[in-house]
Amino acid sequence: MAARTMQVARCPTDELSLTNCAVASEKDLQSGQHVTVKTTPTHKFVFTVRTHQSVVPGTIAFSLPQRKWAGLSIGQDVEVSTYAFDKSRQCVGTVTVEVDFLQKKSADSSPYDSDKMAAEFIQHFTSQAFSQSQQLVFSYCEKLFSLVIKEVEAMDPSILKGDPASGKKNKIDIGLLHGNSQVVFEKAESSSLQLVGKAKTREARQSIINPDWNFERMGIGGLDKEFSDIFRRAFASRVFPPDIVEQMGCKHVKGILLYGPPGCGKTLMARQIGKMLNAREPKIVNGPEILNKYVGESEANIRKLFADAEEEQKRLGTNSGLHIIIFDEIDAICKQRGSMAGSTGVHDTVVNQLLSKIDGVEQLNNILVIGMTNRPDLIDEALMRPGRLEVKMEIGLPDENGRVQILNIHTAKMREFKLLAGDVDITELATETKNFSGAELEGLVRAAQSTAMNRHIKASNTVEVDMEKAEKLLVTRGDFLASLENDIKPAFGTNQEDYASYIMNDIIKWGDPVTAALDDGTLLVQQTKNSDRTPLVSVLLEGPPHSGKTALAAKIAEDSQFPFIKICSPDKMIGHSEIAKCQAIKKIFDDAYKSQLSCVVVDDIERLLDYVPIGPRFSNLVLQALLVLLKKPPPHGRKLLIIGTTSRKDVLQEMELLDAFSTKIHIPNLSRGEQLMEALEMLGSFQEKERAAIAKEVKGKSVWIGIKKLLMLIEMALQMHAEYRVSKFLSLLREEGALDSAHHVAI
């Protein structure tokens, strides 16, 4: 509107004088408009307008504090024009307000909560113009307070763009108050008013929702990317002024699901989100606590969690603060509906109640539900859709940088008090602790501390600390390495005892076939590591029984140095039902998918399948599970090498399992006398004279024996008296049918 002259009038009602608005007729101005009131060529004041039918057209009414501030008198002519705010620069970040009782006689000594006052202030005056030194009256707890605006700071524009806060204070003369502004109350110097709460101190709102966190100070390591992703998805919309969010038609994210292996920091992260937002103390609920044996009680427990948020939303609308509800072990209460056979249906109604509270017909906009689980597959899918727990974040095992951060966090105190020896290299420990979760790294530090303390305990009849030495207590590199070897083993990853037992006699390279198999294995390992086109590589080692297939598979796996190596072996599944066996195999593969580089050895496939030639009989359930898992590529960015072993290639061919492997390597038996002699020489069990006698018997003859069986026969023969050892060994070979003197070997 073009500037026009209007006459100053008195505010028509007491109620309107508390709105801090200039009051005009509907014929002149619209409610919610901002206007500039020019009293002299150099004096201008900005007001927000409210309309009322009792105001005479052509006049504009002001309350007494407004007239006092702007130096207006009744009947004075003023020039009125519309004022437009620049939303990117004039949104109020923080407003500092001096407060006092309006009338001294109404003063009392009871404390006033400045946090609640701030919430009420924002509810009353949101979307209004505020200028420095402005005076107004504020009604709170049925008391009238006089307020003076001391300072107005703009919201940091970099935060609105999604960048880290610059930290610069940007003072402005006029700003537009919105739901995310922070109000700081300071009592007037001579006032007897008592203020309590945070809003009486200066604490800039931008720093509360600052994406540039110091995670180490918060005790979180290795989750920087996840934290900033959660911030971008869940909180960026809550930093913006509500009217901009409304104009975009944008809805806040109401739910986050954190999932991943145990001990990776899900609960810790949820706790820190509560602190980061400076919202109310989050409500933390352990899933099983909700359930109650009485009908309807479990649902009532869910309703209680949301009651405060509902009440505040009704009272304050869009200006309501954020309520955070954290469900630990959410899979306990949100299982797939209809999945629990024979149950009372309590689980189903609890899920229904939770769904309707988060995003039902009467939806709440002031809540953030954070669920945590290590079994996302169990959760009802209706809960996972957008609008409910829509941000799904995998909190996986930390990478090497993450492990450095975590170890630094847990050793910070020791470093501060100089209890950590100079030879402890955190980077070396991070390299050694592949596939350790955050909790396991913390356990490692504790174990190293215990080892160090144990050195200073006198081993006499009574347990006492050697105080002289205890003064010089230092946790050394040796303590960490000892704990790594003996105390802490990662739940996900490599259990060295597992495959060490398969290669306890080392690999005996009795000929080219063994060397070729190991070389091919190394190539496949390199392919898995380096090729982005083939994230899944599978190889089958096949050959006669006792030819050393499992030892070669274990050797290839060990040499790969992959952080996750697991052997899926039939000896771990004795007595398992078919379904239990399928689940055990699936779990090994699921765990493998959680690591960047994994190797799974599927040993003795025909035993896993319960195959026997009589019948013939095998487990179709396990076969189908293997067919699926051997072909299923790992998730994006992960690599998997599968090494299978079998003695019955023909059976696997009939079962169509051979085609599930990318490639096959044949592991033969020893087939020539020369190969047998090579193996004996490498083992060094017989003396040279004995070896010469054996060579005489086997040279140029056909031999057929697996290296594993050969080892067994050698050890049996070695138990005899020295002069009978050679003859015993040769007779054992003939008994086994391994030495055929009639036929020369055909290669």
Q: Which residues contact 292 (CB under 8 A, 6 or more apart)?
A: 298, 301
Are 61 and 98 in contact, with CB atoms under 8 Å apart? no
Find the catalytic residue in 126, 603, 645, 646. 603
Instruction: Check if 550 is active-site.
Output: yes
Sheet strands side by side (includes 323-328):
283-286, 323-328, 367-373, 255-259, 391-394
DSSP class per residue in 47-90: EEEEE-TTSPTTEEEE-HHHHHHHT--TT-EEEEEE----TTT-
Helix (H, G, I), strand (E, B) or coil at 44: strand
Find the catalytic residue in 283, 509, 631, 649. 631
Find the catalytic residue in 373, 550, 645, 646. 550
DSSP class per residue in 632-693: PPPSTT-EEEEEEEES-HHHHHHTT-GGGSSEEEE-PPEEEHHHHHHHHHHHT-S-HHHHHH
Q: Classify burial at 684, counting beta carbons within 10 Å of its beta carbon; exposed 0-12, middle 13-18, buried 19 or more.
A: exposed
Are 596 and 543 in contact, with CB atoms under 8 Å apart? no
Instruction: Check if 173 is active-site.
Output: no
Instruction: Check if 708 is active-site.
Output: yes
Beta strands in 453-502 (DSSP E): 457-459, 463-465
Instruction: Check if 604 is active-site.
Output: yes
Instruction: Check if 590 is active-site.
Output: no
Find the catalytic residue in 489, 708, 728, 740. 708
Are 565 and 599 in contact, with CB atoms under 8 Å apart? yes
Query: Which tokens go with 190?
Result: 């001579």
Sign of CA dihedral 705, 709, 715, 718: negative
Residue 321: DSSP 8-state:
P
> What is the rounded CA–CA span in Å between residue 60 and residue 394?
59
Bridging pattern class, strands 463-465 and 182-187: unpaired
Amino acid at 271: R
Are 608 and 571 in contact, with CB atoms under 8 Å apart? no
Distance of CA 249 to the CA centre of its chain: 29
Find the catalytic residue in 266, 549, 594, 709. 549
Q: Which of 737, 747, 327 is nearest to 511 (CA)?
A: 747
> What is the rounded CA–CA span in Å between residue 271 and residue 326?
8
Instruction: Check if 603 is active-site.
Output: yes
Query: Could you give the dihedral angle defined by the CA atoms of residues 557, 559, 564 and 565, in that order, rounded to the nearest 10 degrees?
Result: 30
Find the catalytic residue in 331, 604, 645, 709. 604
Give the bridge partners for 68, in sequence order.
Answer: none
Helix (H, G, I), strand (E, B) or coil at 96: strand
Count CA within 13 A, CB hemisphere, residue 585: 27
Sign of CA dihedral 220, 224, 229, 231: positive
Q: Which of 454, 451, 496, 457 is nearest to 478 (CA)?
A: 451
Q: Which of 190, 189, 199, 91 is nearest to 140 (CA)?
A: 199
> What is the rounded CA–CA span in Å between residue 222 and residue 220?
7
Amino acid at 654: E
Bridging pattern class, strands 92-101 and 182-187: parallel
Query: Which tokens go with 672?
Result: 């020539």
Phi, psi for residue 542 in degrees, rounded to 5: -125, 150
CB-based contacts of 422-426 (< 8 A; 24+ apart in sequence): 423/476, 423/477, 424/475, 424/476, 424/477, 424/480, 425/477
> What is the rounded CA–CA span in Å between residue 184 and residue 223?
33
> What is the rounded CA–CA span in Å between residue 440 and residue 433?
9
Residues annotated as catalytic (active site), given as ranges: 549-550, 603-604, 631, 708
